[in-house]
With several copies, the nearest count.
Chain A
Amino acid sequence: MSQPSFDPLYQEIILDHYRQPRHCGLRDAYDAEVHHVNPTCGDEVTLRLQLDGDRLADVSYDCEGCSISQASVSVMTELVIGKSVADAQTVHDAFLALMQSKGQGEPDEAVLEDAVAFSGVSRYPARVKCALLGWMALRDATARAQAGMRETAEIVTTTEGGAAS
C-alpha cells in the first residue's frame, strides 16, 4: 500500500477503532438520548447514556460516519464507561484542549490513553469537528440525564470546535 506512512491523521489506533468500533450499536437501556450533527460535512451521531447515580453506567451509539468521528466515539466509550461524571468531564476537558491545540498539544497519556492518537487531528481544522462530535453529544447527554430529560434531543448542532472553522 502506497499510503504515506508519516500520515499524522490516520494513526493505526484510529484505523483499528474505525474498523472495529467498541460499544457500537444503540442499546435499549438509557436515561438520555441525543442526536448530534456536524452540519458542514453531514456526520451524525445518535448517542445514549445510562447513569447509575453519579457513574456513567453505559454509553452506546449508532455506527455511521467518517473514520475520525467513528474512532473518536469508540475510543471515548472505552475511556468513560464506568467513570464518575466528574472524572469523565476531566477526560472530556483534556480531549477538547488537545483538539484545540492546532498540532501543538502535549497530551497527557495517563488521562487520554488511546485518545492521544488524535493529536494529529488537531492540525486539520475541518476534522476537529469530526473528532469532537461524539464528545459533544456525550456532554449534552450527561446534562440531560442529570436533569431527568429522557426524551430524545432530536437535532442539536455541534458548536464550533474552537479552531478556525
Chain B
Amino acid sequence: MPAFDVETIRKDFPVLERTVAGGKALVYLDNAATSQKPAAVLDAVRDYYERSNANVHRGVHTLGEEATALYEGARDLTASFINAADRSEVVFAKNATEGINLLAYAIGNAAPGSALAVGPGDEILITEMEHHSNIVPWQLLAQRTGATLRWLGLTDDGRLDLSNLDELLNARTKIVSFVHQSNILGTINPVEPIVRRARDVGALVFLDGSQSVPHHAVDVQALGVDALVFTGHKMLAPTGIGILWARRSLLDELPPFLGGGEMISEVTMAASTYAEPPHKFEAGTPPIAEAVGLGAAIRYLTDIGMDAIAEHEAAITSYTLDALRSVPDLRIIGPDTTQARGGSISFAMKGIHPHDVGQLLDTYGVAVRVGHHCARPVCVRFGVPATTRASFALYTTTAEIDALVEGLGHVRTFFGR
C-alpha cells in the first residue's frame, strides 16, 4: 500500500478542480452532507451503462447475466467491507433513511404477539443526537403501535448522557436505535455499553452508521449489533443507494416491507410467498448502477485503506479544532477534543446567524453547511437556532482549513454590528 498522499488523492476527484464565486478554488467542507466521487466510481457507472446495462436476476441473456454478476458482486464487496458473516445479510435500499424505515415498518408488520411485535407498554429507545431519519420512523412506529418512544439525553460537551442508561434501557425496551457518529456534533458514541445492556434486557440494537462507515473501519460482528444502516452517497458512491445490514436470523424473522417484483417466491392473486433474504427486502428493480458505483467506491476506499483515511481525517480534525479556537467569539457545539469524535465540526459565531456565515464563506469558495443538519433536537438542546458545520473527507487539506478560518475572519468584519 502506497503512503497516504492527499494531493495524489485529490487528483482522483474531478470536482475538486472546479472554481466557484468568480474563479475561487472550491473548498468543499460539506462532506457530512454528501461526499464527492472519484473518477473510478464515475467510470464504473458509465462502463456499466455502456456495456452491461440490463435488468437483474431473471435474464438468461448475456447483458442480464453480466448485470446480475455486477450487482451481486457489489453485495459481496459490501459484505466484506463491514465484515458481515454472510452476503445475504446485505440489503440494498435507496438511502439510509429507507433502511431505518424498513426496520420500523417490517417490525410494525409483525403479527401481534409475535416476538418482534411492539405495542402498548413496549419502549423504543433513541437518543437526543439522532438525525431526523432515526427519529421520525420510530415516532411513526410508536404512533401506529402504541409503543412509547424514549431517548437518552446529552451532556454539555455533546456526549451521550449514559448516567441513566439502566433506567431508560430496561425490560420494557424492545428496540434501541442510535447513531454511531453524530452528523452535527461529530461525537463517536460508545457502542459496547449500550449493546451489553441491551443484551441483558433482550432488546434489539440498531446502529446508524451513515457517518461512521465512510470514515473508519466498521466491523459488524465486532460491534455486536443487530442491524447497521449506512448510505452510499456519503462514502464516495452515487446517490440512490443505501445499505441495511442485519443478522440473517433477524432478516429471516422480519416480515417483508415493500411488496412487488423481486421480493416474492410465488404470487397468486389471493396471496404470495416471499423470497429469502436479501431479496425479500428488495422489491422492484434495484439500484443496479448505483450498486456498481458503490462497489467501485468500496474498492477505492479499501485500496487506500480505511485506517489511513481515519488517521488523515483525525489529523485534519485536530488541526481544525486548534484553528477554530483562535477565532474570537466562536463556540464549538460538540466535543472540542479529538477524543472519540470524527471530522464533523459544528460551531456558532456570536451575533451572526449561520445563514450569513455560510453565505459569505461561499463568496470565498468555502462550502460549509448551515442549518439544523436534520438534527433539530440537538440545536434545541444547545440553545441555537442552527449551526455552521465544516465536515471533512479523505481529500480535505490543511490549506482548506486555513481558507475556512480566513473566511471566518471576513465574516466577522462584514457582519459585526
Contacts and interface: CB of A to CB of B under 8 A. Distances in A.
**Contact between A and B in the complex (any CB pair below 8 Å):** yes
Interface of A: 1-4, 7, 9-10, 18-19, 37, 39-44, 64-68, 124-127, 130, 155, 157, 159-160, 164-165
Given A67-B353, A164-B73, A3 B264 contact: no
B265 A157 contact: yes
B172 to A, nearest CB: 32
Contact of A1 (B22, B68, B385, B413): B413
A67 B371 contact: no
B145 to A, nearest CB: 27
A13 to B, nearest CB: 15
B60 to A, nearest CB: 5
Given A67-B415, A126-B58, A42 B266 contact: no
Given A10-B414, A18-B417, A125-B68, A40 B359 contact: no
A34 to B, nearest CB: 15
Contacts of A3: 360, 363, 410, 413-414
Interface in B137-176: none
Contacts of B384: 42
A43 B68 contact: no
Interface stretch (B107-115, B273-281, B322-330): B273-281
Nearest to B277: A160
A43 B219 CA distance: 40
Query: For chain B, which range describes its interface: under 10, 10 to 19, 20 to 34, or 35 or more residues?
Result: 35 or more
Interface string B253-292: 0000000000011100000010110010000000000000
Contacts of A66: 353-356
A68 B359 CA distance: 11
Contacts of B266: 37, 39, 155, 157
Contact of B386 (A7, A10, A41, A160): A41
B385 A44 contact: yes
A156 to B, nearest CB: 10
Given A39-B266, A42-B379, A155-B266, A126 B273 contact: no
A159 B275 contact: no
B356 A126 contact: no
B57 A43 contact: no
